[in-house]
Chains A and B, each alone.
Chain A
Amino acid sequence: MAAVNEAAGASGLVGRNLVDKVVVRAGNNALTVEKGGRRILYLNEGVVEQANHGMLLREAAHELVHAQQYAKLLGKVGDVDQARSAFLVSGCSYRYAADEFVAETLAQRRIQKYLGNLSNSTLDWSNDYISTWRSIARARRSYR
């Protein structure tokens, strides 16, 4: 999909090295890794159809950071099954919250640098997302 390739380029990445397939669906955005290692980037159809260009690129860039996080895990453990297990963390975990605020922070920086600016609504949403997950991560770190 063009937006994912553009977001990858804006992030200094090569999309096909990080993602095997892009799927537009009714559900939430996600980067999943199937058994066997196929990496699928899902984008919400409402975002693809209605969001402005900056928001769409930011959403794609966010999932690409998760693809980078998986690639880093794979490089570390060297085994697809182990890397996949480590990547598919529970939403209730510290790791999930930490990965979310890192992914959004990087996505926002990368797309803002690429486009020169983001709309106020996109920036407000993104900042809210970062601060919310950061506060969750901080709370969870204390009882990790």
Chain B
Amino acid sequence: MQLFPNELALANLKGEISEDERGYCSVDEAVEWLKELSGLDFGKNVARWEEWVHSQNKKIPSKLADY
């Protein structure tokens, strides 16, 4: 799957995008981006951000389940 903005920001926060990949950004940039997208501030708390991203209904399991 291609990643939506919130998914890409989260992947960067989790260190899943390498510096050699298109779309990489630093952890600090990823946090700022998530804050901008959500209007929330969970800092570098991955679990809280994952919860928020999953609540946006753009996560891979739900997408695949439709096919």
Contacts of A89 in B (CB 8 A): 22-23
Q: Are A51 and B64 in contact (CB under 8 A)?
A: yes
Chain B nearest CB: distance from A91 CB in Å? 4
CB interface residues, A 14-67, toward B, < 8 Å: 27-32, 34-35, 44, 46-47, 50-52, 55, 59, 62, 66
Q: Are A32 and B64 in contact (CB under 8 A)?
A: no
Residue A98, interface by CB 8 Å: no
Q: Give the size category of B's interface with A.
A: 20 to 34
Known interface pairs A32-B21, A119-B67, A121-B66. Does A90 touch B29 (Cβ–Cβ under 8 Å)?
A: yes
Contacts of A55 in B (CB 8 A): 67
Which residue in B1, B4, B16, B17 is a CB contact (below 8 Å) of A29?
B1
Chain A nearest CB: distance from B23 CB in Å? 4
Contacts of B11 in A (CB 8 A): 28
Q: Are A32 and B20 in contact (CB under 8 A)?
A: yes
Subset of 13 A-B contacts with CB under 8 Å = A44-B1, A52-B67, A62-B2, A88-B24, A89-B23, A90-B24, A91-B8, A92-B25, A92-B29, A92-B33, A129-B2, A133-B5, A136-B5
Chain A contact residues, CB within 8 Å of chain B: 27-32, 34-35, 44, 46-47, 50-52, 55, 59, 62, 66, 87-92, 96-97, 100, 104, 119, 121-122, 125, 128-129, 132-133, 136
